[in-house]
Amino acid sequence: MSLELQRISRLKTDGNGNIKIVAAMSPMLAAQAIVENMQKCVKPCELKITALYRIVSDDPSDFSTWKHADLYPVKVDVIVAEINCRYLIVLGDLGGQVFNIALKMEDDVLIHDDYKQFPWIKSPNEDDIIQLIKTVDIGCELRAFKSTIKKDVNKQLYN
């Protein structure tokens, strides 16, 4: 079994020069729901989603469940949200339900009890998820975007 990350967001600037994240609606709404719950606990600072990734597996039965299923198992969309270019939240999106899977702060990755207790048909073990999350270069999307903007500005100024 092999897990990998797919980037599912991009950054862009609006007319005022503010940087915005753009992603598909469903993963973005799922990530925002978790971030809004976290925001209640950390009032003094504002939490912003700075990148979104999807965890994909070469085994199609990974992250599958009978929860909310009819005839066939349901595949849980597993999203990684980068917060404030510092932290990672891994969440499961079942459409009408969003739940925590893991949190990475500094060098520590904590697997949430929701992941351990969820009624999976099949899911990767915790160590595989931890190893994958540790490979994320936090803040790389923003650094690359700023570098691109700087090159574009220099090109406009000096050409």
Least confident window among 20-24, 33-37, 146-150? 146-150
pTM over 0.85? The answer is: no
What average pLDDT is seen over the chain? 84
Per-residue pLDDT, 150: 60
Domain boundaries, the chain: 3-158
Kindly indicate the confidence band of residue 119, based on its pLDDT and cuts at 50, 70 and 90. Answer: very high
Per-residue pLDDT, 152: 57
Alpha-carbon Rg for the chain in angstroms: 17
